[in-house]
Amino acid sequence: MATGGVNLSKEFFELLKAIGESKSKQEEDRIIAKEVVRLKQKLETPQSGGMGSPAATNQLLTSKKRAKEFLVRLLYVEMLGHDGSFGYIKAVEMAASSSLFHKRTGYLVCSACLSPEHEFRFMLVNQMQRDLQSSNVLEICGGVLAATALITEDMVPAVSGEVMKLIAHDSDTVRKKVIIALHRFHQLAPETVTREDLVEKLRKVLCDRDPSVMGSSLNVIEALAAEDATVFKDLIPSLVSILKQIGEHRLPSDYDYHRVPAPWIQMKIVRILGIVGKADAAASSGMYEILMDCMTKADVGVNAGYAVVYECVKTIATIYPNPKLLDAAGEAISRFIRSRSHNLKYLGVTGLAMIVEGNPQYAAQHQLVVMDCLEDPDETLQRKTLDLLYRMTNPVNVEFITERILEFLRGSTDLFLKNVLTKRVCSVAERYAPNNAWYIRTITQLFEVSGDMVKQEVAQNLMTLIAEGTGDSEEADMLLRQNAVELYVGLLRDKPGTATKLPRILLETIAWVLGEYGYLSAVCTLDDVLKELCALASVKARLPNSTRKFMLSAVFKLVSQAGTCPPHAATVIDEYTRSKDTDLQQRCLEFQTLLTTAPQILSQVFPVDASAEDLAVDPNLSFLNGYVQQAIANGARPYEKPEDDDDDDDFMDESATNKGSGFKMTPYEKPQTPAAAMAAMRGMGGATPSMPGVSLPPGAGYGASTAPVQANTGAPGAVQLNTRNVANVWGKPQAAAAAPAPPPPAATSNAFASPGASSFGASSTGTNPYLAAAGMSSAPAPPPEPPKTAEQLEKERKAAALFGGMIPGAAPPPPAPASAMSAAAARAAASGATPVAAPAPPPPPAPAPAVEIDLLDMSAWDTPAPAPPPAAAGIDIFAAAPLPAAAPAAPPQVETVSDDEEEAPAGGLAAPAAPAPVPPPNPIDNLDPFAAEGLLGDVQDAPLASLSMGTQKFEFNGVPLGPLEITTAQFGQQWGSCPAVAPLEVQSSKVTTLNAFMDVCSNVGAYKVESIVSTNEGICAGMIGGTHVVLIHGKVSPGGMGAKLNVTVKSTDPSVTGPLAMYMQTLLR
């Protein structure tokens, strides 16, 4: 039937011919457009010669034939991508034809052309129902086929009943179609055709006497088992038995394909076994034998056989592991991977990726092939190899592998793939980063390559890492920060003028890091950094405003650190005071105001390196009490809480909500309390383009700017937690990674010492690869006899970098060309692949010194204990700041020292509200050029005026503190029962003796209980409003310029302690 042209009209034949000969898409389109016009005409002209004509029947026949051809042509038009919707109705008509062949054509066109929501589909339901009830097997088949292709969710109930009945039909052709159709219905409408219905039918159909019915039921079993395998576990013996029979050629030979008996059915069964045997030792044990058997028998050297073998490998990798089977799978994989066929190589690499995670030893022998695959021009193979690399990543080869993935990312344009790889780099880098500097470099590169595909959290983690460091040593952290700064300055300088083309996420990170730590740069001055940032911020390129905010915040921080505002910065800031973005505008204006009117507090608004400090938040806003009292005294109406205020619950702190309204808060999701919100801000630290919250009460004018920040960072709370984890991960693997390098005994002890070592236990426990490698001078190394080319050696070196940590027993090949395989060389090679050393492939010469350096490095990494809880006290960080500040112990910072934020809620906040900047002790002021201009004096007038009330007694809510005359013993009793504590540490030049201190207490309104001269301690007691007891304990340690005062204020009312402590602080100072 060479052309089959006999059945075609001349017209159609010509059309096909013309299309076949057309030279271009345009020509083809023209031909089809003509065809569409012709078909439309046909549809409109009546086709039959008229009623009563003698040749009516004959004409009817031809018209039907023509109608069929019309549809086929329509299908052809659609297939070439043109619209044929004008003729769909004809297809629907045709489906109702009594002629089976026409009916099939009608259905075919409908299923190929009608979109899922096309209303014509409903017109076909009736016809399908009729066909399903037909006595003709072929009609039934046509109906079932149409039903699977055309049915939509709401049509399922209309046909499912009929189809269900057909499962017991006499014809095997019907039965095999019906089971698939039922599955389709189940997918569309699980409530109509339930899983239970289907499972019950499947059990019968699996044992059908006809192999093709059994075969098609396997499809459905597979799909259902993938959702939930439990109900199929008891089918294992049946499946095993079927597989066995197939292996014995008990099926009709029609099912053989290239001498392999029923390969598709075999594969399906093996696959189902994999699904039901997954992570189930008992279920798995029942299939070990048959899998081995199946794999052996299928290995007959044809693709169909390999396909079965490959399916077995996949199943072996998923079920409960069996060493013998794994060996067999490993063997099969080796044969695939060594095959010349790319397809088989691909399967080998895929298979290897499946079993390598738990069994790295199988990868050992394939180092070079894997390297070849990685270089292969076929992208599919490359991708699979990258996938394999990802799965075999360990602390040793992480650098090499990450580099490869990044390289691949650079060249790739496939978004889907880029997304996957980006996630993988993040995950690998977080899990196995050999050190923090590497992590920062890698993530920065990832930002460059993948840009905004990287999750915001990653940037957040990176910034937190830089801000908090590892906590191991302040010096190391500073070095880390400096490295980051140099890296980013370098990045900006490498791309003059085009830096704004960098991805947003990278720009924001750069801006934040430079703003926080720009002063650390050794290659350029603070001013240079500032210039770079200004240049960046002033570029007119289309940058998102959020990015600009990062940049401007950085500029603000640098300006306040420099203490002077250079003209370029001033221009940029000024420019953005006219920004269309109101938030940006506000920030700039506020900064300008601060700069011109109160420059001396800039250093507090933008504290140096304080992004990781904890903030104490006073949820009661008690520092406002004085103001409120005053207002009320002036006749203002007191605030009345609205009755219906559940909207505000989010903004209340937990304690307030607990004792406040009667609402039960617990069942709800944990609310974002202000504390958490502030923590988030802290995490963002200076990165928040808003003025850092340190010295500002929540919502005091900056509420507007904090909101977008949170939105920006995603869920900041979660991010924070994350970071902690990440930091831990970094901490431990370092120790672990370092472990293997030193000679054996040290290695083992280290591995045990660090619980984190288990994370890479696969490679380090027992079969420590390096030990094996180091001691293997005489072991049978793989190097082939003939001399190697330079390329080969290069490849081997790469392989060594890659397979470091993977291969127990096999030594990495020698690094240097022509080096004798002496024990020393072998050891050098081994150390070349050790974790910390691993700057990719070590250069051929000089392996020996490398060892030295590595060991040193490792000892440095070895010592530190796992990271302590993140920067608890601000003191630490402050002290380390390389500012002249280091000298005097910085009294103004006292507020941030309050290490007990919950109990001293007012401590952190009230301080800045109160006029903190009592003149010079703040060392930063010395740097302040504005100070010289006398601006300082101006600004101070106001706060000092408010200070004058300091001589009066302390008042709380308008009630003065009165003396409480008690004895020391009574004081002791009360001391224990006072829940609220506010500790205070003040460096004072005014109050230097115990007596002076006691006088201050007395002035405040407290009663002097006792002065203990021997220890320089004193206690006082007072009472407010007859209900709240106030106890004060002070210790005076004279020394240096004045005295250090340690004061503890306790009270029965937590809201009193904070304000009183603040009050005393101002008096004492």
Measured from the CB atom, the residue of 72 and 860 that comes closer to another protein is: 72
| CA 491 to chain CA centroid, nearest Å | 25
At closest approach, how far in Å is the CB of 145 from another protein?
Answer: 6
From the list 339-347, 396-404, 835-843, 878-886, the region that binds another protein by CB under 8 A is 339-347
Query: Residue 162 contacts by C-beta under 8 Å, 6 or more apart in sequence?
Result: 129, 132, 133
347 binds another protein (CB under 8 A): yes
257 binds another protein (CB under 8 A): yes
DSSP count for the chain of H helices, then E strands = 51, 7
Measured from the CB atom, the residue of 255 and 997 that comes closer to another protein is: 255
88 binds another protein (CB under 8 A): no
183 binds another protein (CB under 8 A): yes
Measured from the CB atom, the residue of 2 and 790 that comes closer to another protein is: 2
x/- string (CB under 8 A) for another protein, residues 124-153? --------------x--x---x--xx----
Of 88, 232, 310, 861, the residue at the interface with another protein (CB under 8 A) is 310
Q: Which of residues 195-214 bind another protein (CB under 8 A)?
A: 211-212
661 binds another protein (CB under 8 A): no
Measured from the CB atom, the residue of 198 and 906 that comes closer to another protein is: 198
At closest approach, how far in Å is the CB of 306 from another protein?
Answer: 6
526 binds another protein (CB under 8 A): no
β-strand partners of 1045: 986, 1036
At closest approach, how far in Å is the CB of 713 from another protein?
Answer: 29
- Angle among Cα 296, 297, 301 to the nearest 5 degrees reads 90
Of 215, 563, 740, 908, the residue at the interface with another protein (CB under 8 A) is 215
Q: Which of residues 444-473 bind another protein (CB under 8 A)?
A: none
Closest CA to 142 of 193, 107, 194: 107
Name the packing angle between helices 303-318 and 288-298 (round to 10°).
160
Name the packing angle between helices 211-227 and 195-206 (round to 10°).
140
From the list 72-80, 537-545, 692-700, 1028-1036, the region that binds another protein by CB under 8 A is 72-80
Q: Confirm if 947 and 917 have CB atoms less than 8 A apart.
A: no
303 binds another protein (CB under 8 A): yes
878 binds another protein (CB under 8 A): no
From the list 2-10, 456-464, 623-631, 822-830, the region that binds another protein by CB under 8 A is 2-10
End-to-end CA distance of the chain: 108
300 binds another protein (CB under 8 A): no
Say how many CA atoms lie within 13 Å of 19 toward its Cβ. 16
Rg over CA atoms, the chain: 40
Measured from the CB atom, the residue of 45 and 115 that comes closer to another protein is: 115
Name the packing angle between helices 526-538 and 504-517 (round to 10°).
150
At closest approach, how far in Å is the CB of 141 from another protein?
Answer: 8
- Angle among Cα 968, 969, 975 to the nearest 5 degrees reads 85
At closest approach, how far in Å is the CB of 42 from another protein?
Answer: 18
Size of interface with another protein, in residues (CB under 8 A): 75
From the list 53-61, 303-311, 609-617, 758-766, the region that binds another protein by CB under 8 A is 303-311
Of 32, 36, 39, 108, the residue at the interface with another protein (CB under 8 A) is 108
Q: Confirm if 782 and 813 have CB atoms less than 8 A apart.
A: yes
5 binds another protein (CB under 8 A): yes
680 binds another protein (CB under 8 A): no
**Backbone conformation region of residue 249, classed left if phi is above 0, alpha if psi is from -120 to 50, else beta:** left
216 binds another protein (CB under 8 A): yes
Name the packing angle between helices 56-79 and 88-95 (round to 10°).
130
219 binds another protein (CB under 8 A): yes
Of 36, 77, 125, 267, the residue at the interface with another protein (CB under 8 A) is 267
Measured from the CB atom, the residue of 310 and 519 that comes closer to another protein is: 310
Of 70, 88, 232, 306, the residue at the interface with another protein (CB under 8 A) is 306
From the list 249-257, 560-568, 661-669, 795-803, the region that binds another protein by CB under 8 A is 249-257
| Cα–Cα dist 567/550, whole Å | 20
Query: Residue 659 contacts by C-beta under 8 Å, 6 or more apart in sequence?
Result: none
Instruction: Reduce the secondary structure of 511-557 to three states and give it as a string.
Output: HHHHHHHHHHCCCCCHHHHHHHHHHHHHCCCCCCHHHHHHHHHHHHH
543 binds another protein (CB under 8 A): no
Of 75, 353, 961, 1056, the residue at the interface with another protein (CB under 8 A) is 75
265 binds another protein (CB under 8 A): yes
99 binds another protein (CB under 8 A): yes
Q: Which of residues 417-436 bind another protein (CB under 8 A)?
A: 417
865 binds another protein (CB under 8 A): no
| Cα–Cα dist 334/937, whole Å | 82
Measured from the CB atom, the residue of 347 and 1004 that comes closer to another protein is: 347
301 binds another protein (CB under 8 A): no
| Cα–Cα dist 386/404, whole Å | 8
DSSP state of 278: B
Burial of 352 (0-12, 13-18, 19+ CB in 10 A): buried
Q: How far is CA 112 from CA 115, 150, 182, 293, 630, in A?
A: 8, 9, 21, 43, 80
From the list 96-104, 124-132, 569-577, 752-760, the region that binds another protein by CB under 8 A is 96-104
**Hey, is 810 helix, strand or coil?**
coil
264 binds another protein (CB under 8 A): yes
Phi, psi of 332 (to 5 degrees): -60, -40
534 binds another protein (CB under 8 A): no
At closest approach, how far in Å is the CB of 146 from another protein?
Answer: 10
Q: How far is CA 620 from CA 625, 653, 664, 731, 1058, in A?
A: 9, 8, 20, 38, 10
From the list 256-264, 480-488, 613-621, 723-731, the region that binds another protein by CB under 8 A is 256-264
Q: Which of residues 39-58 bind another protein (CB under 8 A)?
A: none
**Hey, is 1042 helix, strand or coil?**
strand
At closest approach, how far in Å is the CB of 508 from another protein?
Answer: 29
At closest approach, how far in Å is the CB of 504 from another protein?
Answer: 24
753-758: long-range contacts, CB 8 A cutoff, minimum separation 24: 756/728, 756/729, 756/731, 756/732, 756/866, 757/732
Q: How far is CA 776 from CA 361, 771, 830, 926, in A?
A: 16, 8, 10, 64
Of 131, 311, 399, 472, the residue at the interface with another protein (CB under 8 A) is 311
262 binds another protein (CB under 8 A): yes
Closest CA to 842 of 832, 834, 852: 832
Q: Which of residues 555-594 bind another protein (CB under 8 A)?
A: none
From the list 47-55, 78-86, 389-397, 680-688, the region that binds another protein by CB under 8 A is 78-86
From the list 94-102, 391-399, 595-603, 911-919, the region that binds another protein by CB under 8 A is 94-102
From the list 255-263, 559-567, 737-745, 858-866, the region that binds another protein by CB under 8 A is 255-263
| Cα–Cα dist 667/1037, whole Å | 50
Torsion of CA 414, 417, 422, 423, to 10 degrees: 150
Of 177, 297, 549, 732, the residue at the interface with another protein (CB under 8 A) is 177
At closest approach, how far in Å is the CB of 670 from another protein?
Answer: 35
271 binds another protein (CB under 8 A): yes
User: How many Cβ atoms sit within 10 Å of the Cβ of residue 643?
Assistant: 6
| CA 434 to chain CA centroid, nearest Å | 20
